[in-house]
Amino acid sequence: MQAKSVMSTDIVTVDPESDVTSVAQTFLDHRISAAPVVDQNGVVVGIVSEGDLIRRVRPAQRSSWWLALVADPTAKFVREHGTRVRDIMTPTVISVGTDMPLADIAAILESNSIKRVPVIEEGRLVGLVSRADILRGLAALGYSQDHPLPEDHEIREKVVQLIKQQTEAWMGSMKVIVANGEVHLWGAVESKEDADAVRVAAESVVGVDKVHNHLSV
């Protein structure tokens, strides 16, 4: 199984010129803890995380509720330490290609002590792979008891496209993994109706043998 089989494609990115306040609010709105920093040419120039924001407030604290403080335009922190993403991001970007095996990605994450890595194709950001994505991919292989088939990636693209077209669920909070024609749905949706709609969409794609619904509401 490769990066393209598990990567997130609905990616929240930030601009290097964005201010800390807006980035903190973006993290809160999308319930994420990090985002690639992409310039006007679509090139990844860094990574900014919740930790980068929190360290600007109080190094001893690591709780996500500090994001609310950073996001408050009236906060003392903003008045005294307001800055841009380019000032606090990690500029050295470790990335992988779409065809890199999960085992190699896991080794990269482990050796560099990072939680996620951008997926780059022809110099452009096309996805994001996290430690959780790798675990879900391995879990899918465990269910299938076999190696993934070449057509699994095509099935996955069709499932994702149909979910986007026919449901109101946000792909940024979900993950679709396909192994040997079996679809695994991970993540969270707003309601049971959304979960059912996503499952039905996956089941209706030609080539899907079975759908494993791990979605939470």
DSSP for 69-99 reads HHH-TTSHHHHHH--BHHHHSB-----B-TT
Class for domain 20-129, per CATH? alpha beta
| Mean pLDDT (10-residue bins), the chain, 217 residues | 86 90 87 89 88 65 54 51 77 90 87 88 88 81 58 86 86 82 86 89 88 87
pTM of this structure: 0.62
Tell me, what's the pLDDT at 144? 55
- Residue 172 burial (CB count, 10 A): 15
Question: Hey, where are the domains in the chain?
Answer: 20-129, 146-213
The helix/strand/coil state of 43 is coil
- Residue 93 burial (CB count, 10 A): 17
Tell me, what's the pLDDT at 60? 45
Tell me, what's the pLDDT at 210? 87
Classify residue 65 as exposed, middle or buried by CB count within 10 Å of its CB (0-12, 13-18, 19+).
exposed
Tell me, what's the pLDDT at 171? 80
